[in-house]
Amino acid sequence: MASTVEGGDTALLPEFPRGPLDAYRARASFSWKELALFTEGEGMLRFKKTIFSALENDPLFARSPGADLSLEKYRELNFLRCKRIFEYDFLSVEDMFKSPLKVPALIQCLGMYDSSLAAKYLLHSLVFGSAVYSSGSERHLTYIQKIFRMEIFGCFALTELSHGSNTKAIRTTAHYDPATEEFIIHSPDFEAAKFWVGNMGKTATHAVVFAKLCVPGDQCHGLHPFIVQIRDPKTLLPMPGVMVGDIGKKLGQNGLDNGFAMFHKVRVPRQSLLNRMGDVTPEGTYVSPFKDVRQRFGASLGSLSSGRVSIVSLAILNLKLAVAIALRFSATRRQFGPTEEEEIPVLEYPMQQWRLLPYLAAVYALDHFSKSLFLDLVELQRGLASGDRSARQAELGREIHALASASKPLASWTTQQGIQECREACGGHGYLAMNRLGVLRDDNDPNCTYEGDNNILLQQTSNYLLGLLAHQVHDGACFRSPLKSVDFLDAYPGILDQKFEVSSVADCLDSAVALAAYKWLVCYLLRETYQKLNQEKRSGSSDFEARNKCQVSHGRPLALAFVELTVVQRFHEHVHQPSVPPSLRAVLGRLSALYALWSLSRHAALLYRGYFSGEQAGEVLESAVLALCSQLKDDAVALVDVIAPPDFVLDSPIGRADGELYKNLWGAVLQESKVLERASWWPEFSVNKPVIGSLKSKL
C-alpha cells in the first residue's frame, strides 16, 4: 500500500522544495512518507489535504501579512469563514458516524489554520449541537437540523461572572409557571450574568442556558439545561428581557466573540427544558429517570469527557505547529561553530536538542493517545445511545472521565510549556508576531482553563484512583477497568518493592524502563495520598479540608503520573506492535523512549523516595534523555515533515518547508504595511520639540 501511494500518487505527499533543509532530510533514518502513511493512513491524509487545499484556494481564507485587524473586523472574517465551512461541508453527519476520527481531524485542520475558526465552528456544531442532542429529547430534534443548516447559531452558557468551577453555586433560576406552561429564566444580579460564553458576544441566536430548576411549592432541583432564544435570527437583535453583549478583547482567540447575558424574567415554553435528565409535567411536577442528583450527575460525565477530549486535540495541534516552526528554524539558523569561520545549525547543540526534541516526542505520544482516547469515547457514546446501562458501561464512563480529566491538563500544559520553549529557542525571531509562536501561545492558553481549571480537574482523577483503592481495602475488590489503565495496580504491594536496576545509559534507552518506574511512582503516590488523607481525617479535618491539604504534594502528582503512565503505555504498545514497518521501528522506539524518560525525569526527586538510590540513577536518567536527543536530531526535520501542515496553513516565514529562513523572513517584513514609510506623526519629533523640564513645576 505504501509503495503504491509513494510511487503513484505524489500529489498526496509531494516532495518538499530543495533548500537548506536538504542536509537534514538526507540524513533521516526513515522515509517521512512511510511514517505519514503509517500514522494517519491514506484516507485521513487525503481528507486533510482536501481541507487544506480548499482553504488555500479560497480567497476568503487568504492570509493578510501585516494586516492590523480590528477586533470587529477579525470577528466578521471569522464568522464568514465559519459560514464557508458549512458551504464546503467537509464532513457530513453520516461520515462522522462512519469515520469518527475525522471529527478531531477536521477540528485540527481548522485549528491549524486559526484557533478562532475551530472554536467558533466547534462551539456551534459540536458543543451546542451535542448539548441539545444528548440532553434533549425528540421534541428538540428540530433544533439539530437548524444548527446544521445554520438557521440558528448556538452557544453553551454555563459559567457565570462569579462562578465557574463550582457549578453547584450557579445562580440563574428557571421557575416554572403552570398557568402559562412556561419557565421564567432570571438572573438575580450581574454576578449571576452568564459570562465567557463563546459565540454569545455577537453571533448566537440560541443558548443552552444552565439554570436552577424550581417548581411551585417544591424545592429546587438543581441545574438543568434550557434552550433559550437570545437574539432574533432575522435581525440579530436581542430578545426582550435579554441583555446580551461582548466581554471584549482576550489574550487570544479574538476571532471568537465571547459574551455575557443577563435574563430579566424571560419566559420560555415548558418544552425549552432539555429533558433527558429530568422533566416537568404541564401541571408542574418534577420527574426524573434518575433516583437522585448524584446519579443524574454521574450520567452526565460522558458529555463532560467529550469537551475535555476535544481540548487534548486542540492543544496538540498548537504544539505540532510550534515544534515544526522551531525545529525548521533550528536546522537552518547557524550560530557559532568549532572555528570562527564555520558556523553550525543551532540544532547541533545538545542544549537546543534538549530544549526542543522532547516536545517533538510529546507531539507523537500525545497525538496517539488523543486519538485512542477519542475512540474510547466513541465506544462510550455508542453505548449511551443504544441505552446500555450495564456495569461495564458505567465503569467505562468513570475511567474515561478520569483519563480525560488528567489528559486535558497534561496536554494543555505540555503545549503551553512547549510553545514557550519554542518561542525562546527561536530567539528574537520567535518574538516577531508574523512567525506565529505568540498567537499559538495565546490561542492555546484557554485550554488550561476552560472545561475545568487544570488543577481542579486533576482532583477528579486522583479521586477516581483513591476510590478504587478504598474499594480494594474495604471490599477486597480487584483493580480492573474496561480500558485496563488501572489493572497493574493489583500488583501494587509487589511493585512498591521494586528498585531501579539499570546501571548503564544503553540499558535505559527503551520506554519499558520508564514504564516500570512509572508503575512504581503511581503505586507510591497512591499509597501516600491514601495514607495522608486518612491521617488528616483522623486528626480532625473534615473531608473538604483533608482533600485540600492532600492536593499539592499528593493528589496532583498522582493524577499527572497516572495519566503520563497511560500515555506512555499506549504509545509504547503502539510502536512495538508487529504491524509497524521495520524501517520505522528505530525512530518510533526512540520517540517513545524520549517522551517517557523525559516526562519521568521531572519526577526524579519523588523516585528517590524509594525507587532510585545513589548518585547514578539520576545521572543515568539525565544521560539517557540527552543520548536520545542526540540520536533523534538527524531525524527531527523528517519527523516535522510528517506533522507540519502545508506552508499556507503553518503561516510562519521561519518555519517554511523550503528552509529559506532569511529570504522568507526578509520578504515577509518588506511586505508589511508602510514598512519604509515615515510615520504620520513625524512633526511631533521634527517640529514640536519638547522643552526639557517645562512641566517640572507642575510636579
| C-alpha cell read off for 65 | 501579512
Whether the Cβ atoms of residue 225 and residue 156 lie closer than 8 Å to each other: no
Residue with Cβ nearer a copy of itself (401 or 556): 556
Residue 193 CA to residue 259 CA, distance in Å, equals 10
83 binds a copy of itself (CB under 8 A): yes
Contact range with a copy of itself by CB under 8 A, out of 10-18, 271-279, 320-328, 448-456: 448-456
CA distances 89 to 84, 94, 147, 602, Å, are: 8, 12, 13, 44
Q: Is 288 in the site for a copy of itself (CB under 8 A)?
A: no
| Residue among 137 and 449 whose Cβ is closer to a copy of itself | 449
Q: 101 in helix, strand or coil?
A: coil
Pick between residue 44 and residue 669 the one whose CB is nearest to a copy of itself.
669
**β-bridge pairing 154-157 and 206-214:** parallel
Number of residues that bind a copy of itself (CB under 8 A): 146
CB of 70 to a copy of itself, least distance (A): 5
Pick the closer one to a copy of itself by CB: 251 or 478: 251
Name residues whose C-beta falls within 8 Å of residue 572's C-beta, 6 or more positions apart in sequence.
511, 512, 515, 592, 596
Q: How far is the CB of 203 from a copy of itself (least distance, A)?
A: 7
Using CB under 8 A, which residues numbered 141 to 200 contact a copy of itself? 148-151, 153, 159, 161-166, 168-169, 190-191, 193, 195-196
Cβ 49 vs Cβ 102: under 8 Å: no
Q: DSSP for 443-482, please give it.
A: HHGGGGTTTS-HHHHHHHHHHHHHHHHHHHHHH------T
Using rule CB under 8 A, residue 250 touches a copy of itself:
yes
User: Which one of 134, 405, 461, 551 is in contact with a copy of itself (CB under 8 A)?
Assistant: 551
442 lies in the binding site for a copy of itself (CB under 8 A): yes
C-alpha separations of 355 from 358, 361, 534, 567 in Å: 7, 12, 40, 21
User: Is the Cβ of residue 343 or residue 658 nearer to a copy of itself in the bound state?
Assistant: 343
User: Cβ of residue 366: shortest distance to a copy of itself, in angstroms?
Assistant: 19
CA angle 268, 274, 280 (to 5 degrees): 75
Verify binding: residue 449, a copy of itself, rule CB under 8 A: yes
**From 19-27, 94-102, 206-214, 614-622, span contacting a copy of itself (CB under 8 A):** 614-622
- Closest to a copy of itself by CB, 234 vs 538, is 234
Cell of 519: 508503575
CB of 193 to a copy of itself, least distance (A): 7
Residue list 453-482, contact with a copy of itself (CB under 8 A): 453-455
The residue within the footprint of a copy of itself, chosen from 626, 647, 648, 658 (CB under 8 A), is 626
List CB contacts of 256: < 8 A, sequence separation 6 or more.
Answer: 75, 78, 116, 119, 120, 123, 198, 199
Cβ–Cβ under 8 Å, residues 381 and 306? yes
Residues 39-78 that bind a copy of itself (CB under 8 A): 50, 53-54, 66, 68, 70-72, 75-76
Residue 649 region by backbone torsions, left for phi larger than 0, else alpha for psi between -120 and 50, else beta: alpha
Least distance CB 540 / a copy of itself (angstroms)? 13
Stretch 359-398 residues interacting with a copy of itself (CB under 8 A): none
CB of 420 to a copy of itself, least distance (A): 7
Q: Select the span of 248-256, 321-329, 373-381, 578-586 touching a copy of itself (CB under 8 A).
A: 248-256
**What is the closest distance, in whole angstroms, from the C-beta atom of residue 41 to a copy of itself in the complex?**
19
For residues 586-605, which are near a copy of itself according to CB under 8 A?
Answer: 601, 604-605
- Shortest separation between residue 622's beta carbon and a copy of itself, angstroms: 5
Question: Taking the complex as a whole, how short is the minimal distance between the CB of residue 570 and a copy of itself, in angstroms?
Answer: 26
Residues 337-356 that bind a copy of itself (CB under 8 A): 337-338, 340, 343, 349-351, 354-355
Listed as own residue / partner, the contacts of 619-622 with beta carbons closer than 8 Å and 24 or more positions apart are: 620/502, 620/503, 620/504, 620/505, 620/508, 621/508, 621/597
Task: Identify the sign of the CA torsion 535, 541, 547, 550.
Answer: negative
- Containing 286, the helix (H) or strand (E) segment is strand 286-287
Active site residue ranges:
451
Nearer to a copy of itself, 383 or 653 (CB): 653
352 or 569: CB nearest a copy of itself: 352
Strand, helix or coil for residue 575: helix
Neighbours of 559 (CB within 10 A): 29
Q: Using the rule CB under 8 A, give the single segment among 212-220, 274-282, 397-405, 622-630 that binds a copy of itself.
A: 622-630
Q: Does 606 bind a copy of itself (CB under 8 A)?
A: yes
Report the residue from 18, 88, 142, 264 that binds a copy of itself according to the rule CB under 8 A: 88
Q: Which of 428, 494, 540, 578 binds a copy of itself (CB under 8 A)?
A: 428
Tell whether residue 291 is a contact of a copy of itself (CB under 8 A).
no
Min separation Cβ 432 and a copy of itself, Å:
6
If one asks whether residue 246 binds a copy of itself (CB under 8 A), the answer comes out as yes
Distances (CA, A) of 698 to 522, 691, 693: 65, 14, 10
237 binds a copy of itself (CB under 8 A): yes
369, 571 contact by CB (below 8 A): yes
Whether residue 351 contacts residue 446, with contact meaning beta carbons closer than 8 Å, is answered with no
- Give dist(CA 491, CA 489) in Å, integer: 5
Is 294 an interacting residue with respect to a copy of itself (CB under 8 A)? no
- Our CB check for a copy of itself shows the closer of 72 and 507 to be 72
Judged by CB under 8 A, does residue 548 bind a copy of itself?
yes
Residue closest to 624 by CA, chosen among 530, 506, 517: 506
CA proximity to 590, closest of 561, 540, 626, 617: 626
User: Contacting a copy of itself (CB under 8 A), which of 17, 43, 240, 427?
Assistant: 427
Regarding 245 and contact with a copy of itself (CB under 8 A), the answer is yes
**Type of residue at 287:** V
Minimum distance from residue 304 beta carbon to a copy of itself (Å): 17
Q: Least CB distance from residue 89 to a copy of itself, whole Å?
A: 4
Query: For residues 193-212, which are near a copy of itself according to CB under 8 A?
Result: 193, 195-196, 202-203
By CB under 8 A, is residue 619 in contact with a copy of itself? yes
Output 50 or 504, the one with its CB closest to a copy of itself: 50
Q: Under rule CB under 8 A, which residues in 636-695 are in contact with a copy of itself?
A: 662, 665-666, 669-670, 672, 674-676, 678-682, 684-686, 689-695
How far is it, in rounded angstroms, from Cα 692 to Cα 529? 65
Cα gap 238→201, rounded to integer Å: 11
Q: Rounded to whole angstroms, what are the CA distances from 394 to 275, 387, 401, 548, 652?
A: 21, 12, 11, 27, 46
Closer residue to a copy of itself, CB minimum distance, 30 or 562: 562
Task: Name, in order, each residue with C-beta under 8 angstroms of 94's C-beta and a sequence gap of 6 or more.
Answer: none
Q: For the CB of residue 388, give the shortest distance to a copy of itself in the complex, in Å.
A: 32
Pairing mode, strands 266-269 and 206-214 = unpaired
Taking the least distance from each CB to a copy of itself, the nearer of 148 and 297 is 148
Sole binder of a copy of itself in the list 28, 239, 243, 378 (CB under 8 A): 243
- 116 vs 137: CA distance, rounded Å: 30
Using the rule CB under 8 A, is 79 a contact of a copy of itself? yes
Which pairs count as long-range contacts for 381-388, CB under 8 Å and 24+ apart, including other chains? 381/302, 381/306, 384/134, 384/302
- For the CA atoms of the chain, what is the radius of gyration? 27
